[in-house]
Structure 1
């Protein structure tokens, strides 16, 4: 066994979850924490179900992501109880009996019908904090999602345990392998759809297992932030490739973005290289006590410098940030927390009692405004795009003369650039899980 072995790390993780649950229940005045795994949802006027998405509050305790109709019950001082639905079913694959490094830490009860869970839940539903979606109702057990419990758990979920960081690392290693395969497919002339298939094959996960819909964009499509169309035919002249794609492992996820140029010696590749340098400088700022919003604002300054060096901006980088022109080229947030969810919860919480820390004025799309501390895992993803709609607003505004529109026209066919890594805040230097993953694969 190694220090990263989940059989060693998981019991420590479970102790942290118990401690957090104890504090949350005391604060809300409830006796039990009850967490349904979630239920299947069906398309209207049809018997086809949508892809199942497990309740994140459930998979925080157990690495189960394909088990609708199950329940987790925690009572302070007692062994957590897992009510595990293993239905009698000849239409579908039935989940295997629970086992592995985590199962021995639970009082496991296997049931065959969803309703069989009811007698295994606490006697008085009114004494329970029930966390889940409204459809996860069984008898008197309907999710009430007490705000005091949600605020406490979501605030502290930003601080990842060593087990969680190990799981994110495993997801990252899978994603890195798939990113390499996607780049090879791009350079071989594949279509967006073909690159997507190459990615899934290398990740060994299909679209429903991936943590989000792959963004695989060629040429001008790079300028559509959430481009998800997948052209089936490659462009006549491939110029650039932006891929924002992740992978999953035992309920945890990764989120990686890379941009590539077909001409590795051309001007656009030079801009990618400059963005990579800037992105690494921003990653290095992930340190204990740093306000994440300040990293975001620093990112705007660095992106503006790249635009200035490329001849796009006639104004100073500082002026571009001050007057808001930088936001036309970099319109999204610097990144977000990551873990059980791609955009992990609690990014705006002022404390474990609630409250909200607003993003800086003029930057409404920033998803994380907290001060960084050891254990936090965040993404750093500066972007630079040539988006017609946003640039037209600048062209019609007071700063039109501060842009070289001929340079914009020359760069527009490449779409844009985004680079994203997952970074762990420690008591010292940041740990870049993504870069370590790529280095290990080299």
Structure 2
């Protein structure tokens, strides 16, 4: 799926995307008085005192130019008045496989291919001599110290590029939808394995097979949490033995296609007609109702506050809160049950950057101190893609300090503790009038 020689996308749409991207970068470079930018894909760095490497993901700024992870040591050179240039490394090597350079790159970039890193950097250095001010965007590992770079990752330039990354082109939206397609197939297989009483490891392997991904290709480590494990927000272990009793299943797992990610979470009850199942349905209904209200111009933190109030109402309806929903919201009691933010930007990174940037100048807005885990404080605008992922959790670490609260029915809490928690997450695209839910229609197409 990630092999550069097997990319499958609309090439005219990709060329339009590069044209849009080039205009963004030309404006940014001219604004900050740079003649050119070197965009490095990066390269694998081995574990300490070892010859083994972590899985490689390319610099996300590079991925927007060339959508693949099979690009170690590649470089894109961007100058305002010139066609973008791509430098690829393809050694003669019988130890490792290097996929062939795709022919579609020739129609978009001036392309050069090198057999060793020394010749690549020598040619790069030769071309950089014509520029007075050059910015490096990305890691500098592998570049010799004498390469003509004026500034590495200049903050103001990077902030402008980071801000613009929130606005997705039609090509980028297509890739996120493709990543959703494979993730949904994995989710459906994982759910089936849960109802067949599989272990967390069994469920994880079913997801990989159905989504057509290896662990190296995942956008992030799958969260496969049975029972009380769902109360750990980023639970990262996979028990190989099934629990004595299957009560609940939370899966947070995505797909990665051509360097772009999806991020989807679902929660299931082993018994489809018990109180936990009803709690899942109540949260899902509120999540969908909130998505229906989203439109350009709404501050994202306002959506988070609305959901905190809705969570309070759900917990009141289920007899967990003895006080009113409004009282629980005002005293921040709901944050004990929803301790994370409502969502985040999505793209070449699962948690795409720029969520706090208010404009291209780099002004920021930190989240309210009550909601410090919120990753997105910007105003909702057309062509943004972000997640909406409310949750209700029963986490002993957060509950124990408030055990003396008379506003909580602790017997009801004890009923739900063995289930861990709930999270429902969809990926949404902002349109000119509202939103398009990317996730739901694809689930419906496979059900």
Question: Aligned match of 2:212 in 196, 204, 210?
Answer: 204
Q: How many residues align?
A: 435
Question: Aligned match of 1:295 in 296, 299, 303?
Answer: 303
Alpha-carbon offset, residue 317 of structure 1: 1.2
> What residue number does 1:107 align with?
110
Question: Aligned match of 1:159 in 167, 186, 190?
Answer: 167
The answer to whether the Cα contact below 8 Å between 1:338 and 1:344 also exists between their aligned partners in 2 is yes
The equivalences for 1:182-201 within 5 A come to 182-201=190-209
Deviations 1:383-402 (A, max 9, x none): 10000010112225xxx000
> What residue number does 1:323 align with?
331
> What residue number does 1:431 align with?
436
Query: Secondary structure of the residue that 2:61 maps to in structure 1?
Result: helix
The verdict on how the C-alpha distance between 1:354 and 1:262 changes in structure 2, with shifts beyond 3 A counting, is same
Deviations 1:94-142 (A, max 9, x none): 1212234x54211110111112222332323762111112425334346
> What residue number does 1:410 align with?
415
Aligned Cα root-mean-square deviation (Å)? 1.4
User: TM-score, structure 2 length as denominator?
Assistant: 0.95
Counterpart check, 1:422 vs 2:430: no
Counterpart check, 1:59 vs 2:63: yes
Question: Aligned match of 1:71 in 71, 75, 93?
Answer: 75
Q: Distance in 2 between matches of 1:92 and 1:81?
A: 26
Can you give the 5+ residue segments of structure 1 that lack an aligned partner in the other structure?
Answer: none
The verdict on how the C-alpha distance between 1:389 and 1:60 changes in structure 2, with shifts beyond 3 A counting, is same
Deviations 1:261-303 (A, max 9, x none): 1100111101111011011012123211111000011111111
> What residue number does 1:238 align with?
246
Can you give the 5+ residue segments of structure 2 that lack an aligned partner in the other structure?
Answer: 1-7
The answer to whether the Cα contact below 8 Å between 2:35 and 2:132 also exists between their aligned partners in 1 is no
The equivalences for 1:3-402 within 5 A come to 6-100=10-104, 102-121=105-124, 122-124=127-129, 127-141=133-147, 144-396=152-404, 400-402=405-407
Deviations 1:366-421 (A, max 9, x none): 0000001110001000010000010112225xxx0000000000110011100000
Q: Distance in 2 between matches of 1:358 and 1:136?
A: 35
Point out the more displaced range, 38-47 or 131-140. Answer: 131-140
The answer to whether the Cα contact below 8 Å between 1:67 and 1:95 also exists between their aligned partners in 2 is no
The answer to whether the Cα contact below 8 Å between 1:330 and 1:385 also exists between their aligned partners in 2 is yes
Counterpart check, 1:440 vs 2:442: no
The verdict on how the C-alpha distance between 1:110 and 1:212 changes in structure 2, with shifts beyond 3 A counting, is same
> What residue number does 2:4 align with?
none
Query: Secondary structure of the residue that 2:224 maps to in structure 1?
Result: strand
Point out the more displaced range, 139-148 or 67-76. Answer: 139-148
The verdict on how the C-alpha distance between 1:211 and 1:126 changes in structure 2, with shifts beyond 3 A counting, is farther
The answer to whether the Cα contact below 8 Å between 1:118 and 1:139 also exists between their aligned partners in 2 is no
The verdict on how the C-alpha distance between 1:146 and 1:136 changes in structure 2, with shifts beyond 3 A counting, is farther
User: TM-score, structure 1 length as denominator?
Assistant: 0.96
Alpha-carbon offset, residue 248 of structure 1: 0.5
The answer to whether the Cα contact below 8 Å between 1:336 and 1:367 also exists between their aligned partners in 2 is yes
Q: Distance in 2 between matches of 1:151 and 1:412?
A: 43
The verdict on how the C-alpha distance between 1:282 and 1:439 changes in structure 2, with shifts beyond 3 A counting, is same
The answer to whether the Cα contact below 8 Å between 1:28 and 1:146 also exists between their aligned partners in 2 is no
The answer to whether the Cα contact below 8 Å between 2:248 and 2:270 also exists between their aligned partners in 1 is yes
> What residue number does 2:5 align with?
none
Deviations 1:214-267 (A, max 9, x none): 000000000000001000101010000000000111110000000001100111
